[in-house]
Copies of this chain bind each other. A is one copy, B any other.
């Protein structure tokens, strides 16, 4: 059931995968698979949409990308340290800022293990109204 593959075959090096990686790394914010596909086509590379979906999902699973869900339900990816920072998204203009919550990690880990939970996935995004939008 659960993916307990011992050592999955390493991904093959293909032109598409390389281009997709470049496209994602060129982004500074979050982008959906379709956004990335568009960007790539605009950039001259021809890659199938399905491939973009598959590759991004795989990269996210491999921990190379972070994936979040936008309020309207789309999946957005971003290259970022799978490390410890989250995002503050303005739900009016969409502007995104990175934030760090010092101490949160430890706090959560403690509480989680306290409840017997493991493999904690801290999907943790904040949505608010940024200064420009709240002060007309």
Contact = CB atoms under 8 A, between A and B. Distances in A.
Interface in A47-85: 69, 71, 73, 75
Copies per complex of this chain: 2
B104 A117 contact: no
B123 A119 contact: no
A43 to B, nearest CB: 28
Contacts of A130: 115-117
A90 B99 CA distance: 26
Interface of A: 2, 69, 71, 73, 75, 88, 90-92, 97, 99, 101, 103-104, 107-108, 111-112, 115-132, 134
21 contacts: A2-B92, A91-B121, A97-B115, A99-B115, A103-B107, A104-B107, A108-B126, A116-B130, A117-B126, A117-B128, A117-B130, A118-B131, A118-B134, A119-B129, A120-B126, A120-B128, A121-B126, A121-B128, A123-B125, A124-B124, A124-B126
